[in-house]
Amino acid sequence: MAEKIAVLLGGVSAEREISLKSGNVVLNTLRQLGINAHPVDTKYFPLLKIKNKGFNKAFIALHGIGGEDGTIQGMLEILNLPYTGSGVMASSISIDKLRTKQLWKGAGLVVSPYIFLTKNEYTTTTDINLFKQIKQFGLPLIVKPSTEGSSIGISKINNLNMLKAAIDLAFYYSDTLLIEKWLYGPEYTVTVLNGVALPAICILPSGNFYDYNSKYKSNNTQYLCPSGLKKELEFELSDIAIKAYNVIGCRGCARVDIIQDKNKQFYLLEINTSPGMTKKSLAPMAAAKAGFSFSELIMRILELAI
């Protein structure tokens, strides 16, 4: 029986619009390859009925909560429907930046220094206590929701007068947040496909840091692939990304974000188990440098579905 592929897209997270773009590009690519693929927007379609429509495999192009946090993956497991990307455990861990960092630290990997804060703690803790905690980091700082992607709700803090507004913004998207030390140096991203690192990309954002505008709106952000690193540092970076991928228990395609400080030390930032899949996204850019086309990347990801 010929495969009928459900491309899961849209969803209900703050990254819905990005997911729609990724999903539609994946859908069109699969159809151009002669594959019987159909869009399934999980915001409107009850996923429990997906097998009733004759689908026998799912390509997950969802981002954020309700898409790459293990909930969709768990439902597909119950339905015994093969799907792309990481499983329930890796998905649920990776969406949580705190748990991800804790696992990496436990495995001996280096992560960016951070303070974890819950909404409840913030309402019961004075600003003075918080200022004491962050004083060791110095300024600037980065404040980010701990369960969002695509740099949604993230702020760079250049003085402490900006802190409350940044915290309020992060708490709008999540009940927990991270306050991270600002690391001066280039940011890199490494796509790992089935345990193999693709060429690293160096990100040169158009603004002060790689925020939502730099990612999705600006035409001035630059992406260097090859990264410009010396060969031994490129190997080190790839090794860190593969270890990070394996510690979380990922499978399929994932993207690891890493920053290098002024002392050439690499720090893990986060991992994305459902990276963007438009033709301008970073995973396809790395795949192209590795020698295979966008359609070949999509097919590889699909073939890894279990």
Q: Is the peptide bond before 226 cis (omega within 30 degrees of 0)?
A: yes
Active site residue 15: yes
What is the rounded CA–CA span in Å between residue 306 and residue 289? Answer: 27
Cα distance between the two ends of the chain:
17
Q: Provide the pLDDT confidence category of residue 205 given band limits of 50, 70 and 90.
A: confident
Neighbouring-strand partners of residue 259: 187, 267
Convert the pLDDT of each residue in 80-96 to its tens digit. 999 999 999 999 999 99
Strand partners, 306: none
pLDDT confidence band for 125 (50 / 70 / 90) = low
Q: Check whether 203 has a pLDDT greater than 70.
A: yes
Sign of CA dihedral 138, 144, 147, 149: negative
Mean pLDDT for the chain overall: 91
293 is a catalytic site residue: no
- Asked whether residue 41 is marked as a ligand-binding residue, the answer is no
pLDDT for 280: 82
Looking at per-residue pLDDT, the higher value among 259 and 127 belongs to 259
Q: Is the pLDDT of residue 277 over 80?
A: yes
Question: Active-site residue among 19, 91, 92, 150?
Answer: 150
**Does 134 have pLDDT greater than 90?**
no
Parallel, antiparallel or unpaired: strands 57-60 and 4-9: parallel
pLDDT at 198: 97
pLDDT digit string (tens) for 183-199? 888 999 999 999 999 99
Q: Is 281 among the residues known to form the active site?
A: yes
Nearest to 57 by CA among 81, 87, 93: 81
Pairing assessment for the beta strands 141-145 and 155-157 based on DSSP bridges: antiparallel
Percent of the chain with pLDDT over 90: 73
The pLDDT score that the predictor gives to residue 87 is 97
What is the model's pLDDT at position 58? Answer: 98
- Say whether 303 counts as a known binding-site residue: no
The yes-or-no verdict on residue 171 having pLDDT over 80 is yes
Q: What is the pLDDT of residue 216?
A: 54
Q: Rounded to an integer, what is the distance from CA 105 to the centroid of its chain?
A: 19
Q: Are strands 201-204 and 57-60 parallel, antiparallel or unpaired?
A: unpaired
Cα–Cα distance measured from residue 72 to residue 65, given in angstroms and rounded to the nearest whole number: 10
Query: Does the annotation flag 257 for ligand binding?
Result: yes
Q: How many CB atoms lie within 10 A of CB 86?
A: 26
The one catalytic residue among 15, 68, 148, 234: 15
Q: According to the model, what pLDDT value does residue 279 have? A: 76
Bridge partners of 178, per DSSP, are 116, 144
- Is pLDDT at 69 greater than 60 in this prediction? yes
The residue-averaged pLDDT of 208-225 equals 67
Name all domains of the chain by residue range, CATH numbers in brackets: 4-84 (3.40.50.20), 94-111+185-303 (3.30.470.20), 114-181 (3.30.1490.20)
**154 φ/ψ angles, rounded to the nearest 5 degrees:** -95, 145
> Which backbone phi and psi does 240 adopt, to 5 degrees?
-60, -45
